[in-house]
Amino acid sequence: MPMVRITDVRKAYASGLEALKGASLDIHEGEILALLGPNGAGKTTLISTICGITQPTSGTITVGGHDVVTDYRGARSLVGLVPQEINLEPFERVINTVRFSRGLFGKPKDDALLERILRQLSLWDKKDNRIMELSGGMKRRVLIAKALAHEPRVLFLDEPTAGVDVELRRDMWEIVAGLKKAGVTIILTTHYIEEAEAIADRIAVINKGEILLVEEKTALMTRLGQKELRIELHEPVDALPAALADRGLRIEEGGQVLVYTYDTAQERTGIATLIREVSEAGLVLRDLQTRQNSLEDIFVGLVSKQEDAA
Amino acid sequence: MNWQAIRAIYVFEMSRFFRTLLQSFVSPVISTSLYFVVFGAAIGSRIDQVEGVSYGAFIVPGLIMLSVMTQAISNASFGIYFPKFIGTIYELLSAPINFLEIVLGYVGAAATKALFIGIVILGTSALFVDLSIQHPLAMLAFLVLTCLSFALFGFIIGIWAGNFEQLQLIPLLVVTPLVFLGGSFYSISMLPPVWQTISFFNPVVYLVSGFRWSFFGFADVPIGLSLLAIAGFTVLCLAIIWWIFKTGWRIRQ
Ligand SMILES: Nc1ncnc2c1ncn2[C@@H]1O[C@H](COP(=O)(O)OP(=O)(O)OP(=O)(O)O)[C@@H](O)[C@H]1O
Ligand SMILES: [Mg+2]
């Protein structure tokens, strides 16, 4: 049973705009999932429907097996949310807002725990300050402290590092890593692909309310660590010559192009041998190209493919 | 029931009140004193007595009602409107709580604040005039019920309001006129007959009259009617709240 199961969720806002168009996604316990997508893709909407801020128009969502609509208490008590916008009462003191959050989730007072959380977020010496006296990055950390105050099993971070300096971003990553170690399931949205690369176990790409890809980061990275050599031929071929049959070549563009994939990390890429063998087989080269995938490529490729289809 | 959550909301709301304790305390004291100076001294020197009670004492129940009603409404409407306005409502929506618990927390706190102010005004009044309360229990019951029902009403306004103007609209256009014309400063029997008839359509008249009865033992309308009015108003507000709860109106998209 996945920690969060999203099944064919649609969300149409009152304006008629359909922000989610049948999204399905399983999130496993203890993993870090990065949700990537351009502005307006539906990331915040997806998170809001899971957390109870909006209701899905159709489809079901469960958290820890609890349906978020019919068994909202069971579901929501497992979930912590760090919203995208900095929503805090300016006149309130840090410690009070954090206590409030814990109480709202029905947890008894536990000042030792709150102290640990605030220390971990370097907010302890600011605990008696009013929110308006804090810097933007500190406010973001207060939001995290509030979300952690009730010891959630699943944490949603909606663009936690937007507008945050490099140092704080590293701090955030460390905090996220620490939470993962404690067994917390983490879903974060981000526009920074290198962020997803740095901390996520799996990566999901969403655009226009549809989830386009969900994949293990390592599998993605292997794809990324690979380079392609594209050999353009003078005359198209129907099939590979027998001499090249076991070289792992792919025929593309109606036989006009042979594609050779290789690992850049390897000592011998085999390119030299391959090119010799290609001409020995009687094929005439017209052009050579190499290209390296990046997560960005994959991302942009997916998004633009969807746009073409539309 | 998530009692911890109700408590958390209540404590959080009350802390806003205690943070401005001086202001919360001083402003009713000053305004009550001013009312005594203006109405008690200026008008009182001409009216002298109403049904055997000095004019100064006569206006005390009305003064308390006036403040309690407006305070309960403004506290409760602001209390729930403010999170909507600054966006902290996300926390209420994503917490394992239901609408009833939200209502209990916010309305409970708003009613407590109003009650506190009512008691402060009662205390201040005792410095100016001789007060005896004939039916203390009834007095307390009226006071608490008024605090609660008007806090419920204020909560509904706060849920409904989409901006600050709307938040002020109903208190300004409906509540304040009704309260001022509700017999706080005069007995309905002092009015010309036409105005007496019109006054009986003003629900506030019933509340002030009943509350005054608990002090002095006389009233503009039978005490049973007053009880019916406050009970009816409370039930009406509860019904609207129930409907909001059922439909999720103006809360969840
Ligand atoms: N309350 C709302 N009412 C109507 N439409 C909305 C509402 N909230 C979001 N939308 C629309 O839904 C779509 C998805 O928005 P959403 O906020 O989920 O995007 P996002 O992926 O979080 O984008 P960003 O990266 O900019 O935060 C957008 O077209 C947006 O305009
Ligand atoms: Mg967003």
Q: Quick one: A4-221 is in which CATH superfamily?
A: P-loop containing nucleotide triphosphate hydrolases (3.40.50.300)
pLDDT bin (cut points 50, 70, 90) of residue B50 is confident
pLDDT bin (cut points 50, 70, 90) of residue A23 is very high
Please compute the mean of the pLDDT values over residues A222-235 and round it to a whole number: 82
**Per-residue pLDDT at A265:** 66
Q: Is B96 within 8 Å of A76 when comparing Cβ atoms?
A: yes
- Is B253 within a domain? no
pLDDT bin (cut points 50, 70, 90) of residue A13 is very high
Chain A positions touching B248 (Cβ under 8 A) are 55
More confident residue, B57 or B21: B57
**Per-residue pLDDT at B251:** 76
Closest CA to B80 of B162, B136, B144: B162
Chain A positions touching B97 (Cβ under 8 A) are 104, 106
Give the residue, by CA position, lying nearest to ligand 1 atom 29: A40
Please compute the mean of the pLDDT values over residues A35-47 and round it to a whole number: 94
Mean pLDDT over each residue of chain A, to the nearest integer:
90
**Per-residue pLDDT at B109:** 97
Up-side HSE of residue A69: CA atoms within 13 Å toward CB? 13
Tell me the domain boundaries of chain A: 4-221, 226-292
The whole domain housing B47 covers 3-247
Contact A163, A136 (CB under 8 A): yes
Q: Is A103 within 8 Å of B8 when comparing Cβ atoms?
A: yes
Residues B211-221: b if buried by 16+ CB within 10 A, e if exposed: bbbbbbebbbb
Nearest to A76 among B8, B86, B95 (CB): B95
List the alpha helices (DSSP H) in chain A: 43-51, 72-76, 94-104, 111-120, 136-148, 166-181, 193-199, 217-225, 271-280, 295-309
pLDDT tens digits, A100-156: 999 999 999 999 999 999 998 999 999 999 999 999 889 999 999 999 999 999 999
- Out of A61-75, A266-280, B206-220, the most confident range is A61-75
Question: Are both A4-221 and A226-292 of the same fold?
Answer: no
**Per-residue pLDDT at A89:** 93
Residue B192 has pLDDT above 70, yes or no: yes
- Decide if A66 touches B, using CB distance below 8 A: no
Quote the pTM value. 0.85
Class of domain A226-292: alpha beta
For the Cβ of A11 lying below 6 angstroms from any atom of ligand 1, the answer is no
Q: Is A55 within 8 Å of B253 when comparing Cβ atoms?
A: yes
Residue A266 has pLDDT above 80, yes or no: no
**Per-residue pLDDT at B27:** 83
- Is B252 within a domain? no
Number of domains in chain B: 1
Residue A301 has pLDDT above 70, yes or no: yes
Query: How far is B209 from A79, CA to CA, in rounded Å?
Result: 51
**Per-residue pLDDT at A144:** 94
List the alpha helices (DSSP H) in chain B: 3-19, 21-35, 44-47, 55-86, 89-94, 99-128, 136-160, 164-170, 176-180, 193-199, 203-216, 223-247
**Per-residue pLDDT at A275:** 87
